[in-house]
Structure 1
Amino acid sequence: MKKTNYFKWLWPKASLQITHFVLIMSLATFLLYHFPFFTFVLNNIDHCSRNGIILIISLVVLMLAVNALSYYIIFFLSRRIGKVLLVMSLLINAGALYFINTYGVIIDEGMIGNILNTNFEESGIFFSIRLMIYILFLGVLPGIYVIRITITKVPIKKFIITSCLTVVFILALVFANAGNWLWIDKNSKALGGLAMPWSYSVNTSLFYIHKYKKEQKEVLLPDAAIKDDTRSVMVLVIGESARRANFSLYGYGKNTNPLLSKVPNLFHFNATSCATYTTAGVKCILEHTGTDELYETLPNYLYRNGVEVIWRTTNWGEPPVHIDQYLNREALRSKCNGEGCNYDEVLLDGLKEQIMASKKNKILVILHTSTSHGPDYSKKYPSRFETFKPVCNSVELGNCTQKELINAYDNTIVYTDYILYKVIEDLKGLQGYNSSMIFVSDHGESLGEKNMYMHGMPLSIAPKEQYEIPFIVWASDSSKRLKPLNEVSQGHVFHSVLNFLGVQSPVYNEGLNIFSE
């Protein structure tokens, strides 16, 4: 009995070379599923300007090239598996597009978490005729085409040449748009949540990676011991995007450190960060050694070994913190009054009293600031700190003059100067304590040099502005002096804090300690 092929009338069998097939599918993916993506782009950029037109064209070309390259590699490796994956992708694209258009959602990591944590009974309420229409016309029918088509392979030499040239083209296009990286970074959540199939594929991967990291147990360090009863308090201030070049303490031409420059017993070292983004930079500051492993961090280690640890933050990107006294921005603001509560001064509200209320002899305070984080530098400080004018008030930094941009950033350094000065004044007011403050930034910042903005470049190719950071130390008269070091790193923090607080540990490294006996 002859078997009837019910799909013949839809699409007769055809044959295409893999190169032509992936170009067609990349174009189809772009046309069928990216209307919300480009609606968002057009609504959030001046699409009539020259720069706006260039960005839109670049995004179109980039999307076509990236999808085509991905399909090309998968189908070259296995046409059978490629078809299965592509058909699944088309069906998911259709469903995702339905939810984006119907509910205005963004398929980001949080939304993926919601989807994966929704049971079948709850998800049933979303099924509708309209959803079925989306699935049929934007998923099933294109899927039939993929199934029906015969794809012919290309020689491996041609595959390698084509792939390499495409990668070079994509990289060239990305770097040609360096001036738009800031806008893309600012809108990355929405752009990434609307780009198919990357919205759900990448964010699903991120969801499980972050879930694994949250469930991952820290590698505990060997037990430590407190060797004396001297009352000591160390305040570690972790700066955000503070680059060394703009601190007048380091020779900058504008007076961005009017208060710290007059403080006795203040020292500063040249330092570099081990990364150009917050999560890695903060991790590096808090760990005893540079590694990809999740070792017990400084606050957790000291807290477990009997030190009073206080963490106050207006930022994010911290490794897991397991202490009792952890206060984030919302908790701090709820108990704070005045203009400063809307800025990083909130970190200092009630801090002195909290230190004095401690019944322990050894205290570590960590203040994680956000003062110099762009792109809205001019919104990170109270108006009275607008020392340098005019300032850039736009989040599209490429639209500001270099002078306006640097003025706005420099004002965040002036505000940082004030916050650090206030910390030192609070420490001076503590009776009977040896006290010290260390300020170190998580990474630096680009301010338009070589058409680059903010941070996050791979360290191997990052400009020095993104990894040359300040490392500023103050010590009370009765505390230890500092070693005459020319260069330090974020790795010096862990061991210097242990030394200052008189904590003995098997992991202590005297070579990474800044204090002399």
Structure 2
Amino acid sequence: MLKNSIKLVHFVLIASFVNFLLFHYPFFKYVFNTLDYKSFSGITIIVSLVIALLVVNAFVLYLIFFLSRLVGKILLIFFFIVNAIVAYFINTYQVIMDITMIGNILNTNYEEASSFFSFSLILYLFFLGLIPVFFIVKVKIAKGTVKRFLINFSLTLLFLVVFVFVNGGNWRWIDKNSTKLGALAMPWSYMVNTSRFYIKKSKENEKEILLPDAKIKDNVKSVAVLVIGESARSENFSLYGYEKLTNPLLSKVENLHSFNATSCATYTTAGVKCILEHTNSNKLYEILPNYLYRNNVEVIWKTTNWGEPPVHIKNFFNKGDLKGACEGEICNYDEILLKGLKEQILASKKDKILIVLHTSTSHGPSYNTKYPPEFEKFSPVCKSVELGECTQEELINAYDNTIVYTDYILASLIEDLKELKEYNSTMLFVSDHGESLGENNLYMHGIPATFAPKEQLEIPFIVWLSDGSKKLKSNETLSQNHVFHSVLNFLAIESPIYDENMNIFE
């Protein structure tokens, strides 16, 4: 076969069939789990989807390869390589390649991406990617005549038009499930959703919408520390009734309150944006640190994470900045965020201070690397990035240890704030989203919020207050947007945008 040329029609049919065979198990697993595959309508939908996947892919490849066999080969090589990588993540972490997940991928940095590297990924890449690529490179494709192309093209197009009309009765089910079907069809899932992502990004405001000017109402020294958690779900905090003691320190802290809360989204960029904005919106409004900095509040941002909206302040310190000024073991963990913080507060010449600490403590899949060894309270722990290979106990133990370390960081921060006797202080800990730990065979996060499981949406919202500063309202359930208005209230910032209903303080 490699020595002799193959007709273009035969080649694209084979390529489409191989693509169908190698990469569509998750697609049809979802189909079989969603409809009654034993009924006549179920059978017709399944047959229709098989035909659609085979014919549409072959049709597109036929058009591309006829116009340019070189371009066609390059694209097909790209598809098989990317398909293999995407298949690994879908099968290993049960993700779906929708616009939300594309946003996650495009906002992932090298450190996070490298944490997913595994031997299984190499196997996927080799067997599902490189082996097909070898044959694609070696095969010789005979170019057909223009007449034959026009005939085949016209007949296939006519078939597809008739096929669409014949399947009119199935469109209701397909449309209802189009989000997941489209996110599992290869290579259309990442191609179409990447285009959708960039179209959406291009429509966003390049410059944030400024909020009305604010003013400071008094000169009482006040500091608010907002700690943005990463992938922390309230279900695994003993403060929320978890049976394992994951909050041994915070459980003993006075003036500490925990509220039920849900996240706006299941991925970092949207979750952090929601925490920092005054309302849940697709628009890019001026975020809390930018707004306060512009209105004469001291603002300090320290992060070991990424994915925040543009931050326009003087004192912004990323992980590289923090590690450059740090020595010792703590430099490798989120404890680095506390280093020198009290001194920075005391050095400020302003009465009102906002500190934002953006952590990365509970981000998977390598939960066991997110805390120092002495915080491994629960064992055995999962040490593989392929979470499905670990037992449920190992996975949860590793994750719970990140919560124990979070408990230590928050308790240490509170002790530092207690020493600032001349300040009224508060700490708010709010996570960007939750995390799946194998429930319903789902791992990590990123499922669209409309049908995400509660594990990815239910988050901790923990508040501490210094003696004599403020009292809390009797809220039961909060949203991430409560942060903006509550910080304004605590720091005595008067603003036309302020909403008393979204404030947690009396």
TM bin (shorter chain): 0.7 to 0.9
Q: Which residue is equivalent to 2:32?
A: none
The corresponding residue for 2:3 is: none
User: Cα–Cα, structure 1 residues 201 and 26, in superposed 2: closer, same or farther, change >3 Å?
Assistant: farther
- Which residue identity is paired with 1:28? A
CA gap 1:509/1:167 in 2 versus in 1, 3 angstroms: closer
1:480 has 2:470 as partner: yes
Maintained 8 Å contact 1:243/1:444: yes
- Give, in whole Å, the separation in 2 of the partners of 1:27 and 1:168: 31
Is there any run of 5+ residues in structure 2 with no aligned partner, and where? 1-5, 30-46, 87-101, 107-135
Q: Could you say which residue in structure 2 is the equivalent of 1:304?
A: 294
Partner letter of residue 94 of structure 1? K
Amino acid at match of 2:394: E
Residue 243 in structure 1 maps to residue 246 in structure 2? no
Q: Is 1:489 the counterpart of 2:497 in the alignment?
A: no
The 3-state SS of whatever aligns with 1:157 is helix
**What is the letter of the counterpart of residue 430 of structure 1?**
L
The question of whether the paired residues in 2 share the 8 Å contact of 1:91 and 1:140 is answered with: no
1:417 deviates by 0.3
The answer to whether 1:28 aligns with 2:11 is: no
TM-score (norm 2): 0.74
SS in 2 for 1:507: coil
Alignment correspondent of 1:411: 401
1-structure distance, mates of 2:450, 2:28: 27
SS at match of 1:149: helix
Q: Give the match for residue 131 of structure 1.
A: none
Aligned equivalents of 2:70 and 2:324: distance in 1? 47
Aligned equivalents of 1:140 and 1:320: distance in 2? 52
- Secondary structure in 1 aligned to 2:429? strand
| CA deviation after TM superposition for structure 1 residue 427, in Å | 1.0
1:95 maps to which residue? 74
Give the structure 1 partner of residue 250 of structure 2: 260
Q: CA deviation at 1:88?
A: 6.5
- 1:6 is matched with none
1:289-368 → structure 2 map (5 Å cutoff): 289-368=279-358
Distance 1:354 1:410 in 2: 31
Q: Which residue pairs with 1:378 in the alignment?
A: 368
Normalising by structure 1, report the TM-score.
0.72
Instruction: Find the aligned partners of 1:55 and 1:415 in 2 and give their Cα distance.
Output: 42
Q: Is contact 1:26–1:68 with CA below 8 Å preserved after alignment?
A: no
249-258 or 166-175, which moves further after superposition?
Answer: 166-175
1:149 to 148, 152, 156: 152
From 4, 22, 25, the equivalent of 1:58 is 25
- Pick closer, same or farther for the CA change 1:446–1:61 going to 2, 3 Å: closer
C-alpha distance in 2 between matches for 1:139 and 1:352: 69
The alignment partner of 1:258 has SS state of: coil
Deviation at 1:360, TM superposition (A): 1.2
Aligned letter for 1:58?
Y
Cα–Cα, structure 1 residues 30 and 226, in superposed 2: closer, same or farther, change >3 Å? farther
- Measure the CA separation in 2 of the matches of 1:139 and 1:432: 79
After superposition, give the CA deviation of every residue in 1:48-105 in whole Å (9 maximum; x if it has no partner).
xxxxxx986726979x998974786799xxx9x9986786797644234678999xxx
> Which deviations, in whole Å up to 9, do the C-alpha atoms of 1:404-452 show, x marking residues without a partner?
1111110000000011111111111224111110001111111111222
Aligned-residue Cα RMSD (Å) equals: 4.3
Paired residues in the alignment total 433
Shift in Å, 1:161: 4.8
Q: 1:388 to 1:211 in 2, by over 3 A?
A: same
Contact 2:289/2:299 (CA < 8 Å) preserved in 1?
Answer: yes
Worse overlay, 143-152 or 418-427: 143-152
Pair 1:387-2:390 in alignment: no
CA gap of 1:435–1:137, structure 2 versus 1, over 3 A, is same
Q: 1:158 is matched with which residue: 146, 150, 166?
A: 166
Q: Which runs of 5+ in 1 are unaligned?
A: 1-9, 13-20, 39-53, 111-133, 178-191
For 1:252-283, what per-residue CA distance to the aligned partner results, in whole angstroms no more than 9, with x for missing partners? 11110011011111111111111111111111
CA distance in 2 between counterparts of 1:317 and 1:461 reads 23
Structure 1 residues 207 and 170, CA gap change in structure 2 (3 angstroms):
closer
Task: Say if 2:491 is the partner of 1:501.
Answer: yes
The amino acid across from 1:272 in the alignment is T
Which residue of 414, 428, 433 corresponds with 1:443?
Answer: 433
User: What one-letter code is carried by the residue in structure 1 that aligns with 2:165?
Assistant: K
Match of residue 467 from structure 1: 457
Deviation at 1:174, TM superposition (A): 10
Q: Is the 8 A contact 1:307 1:360 kept in 2?
A: yes
Identity %: 54
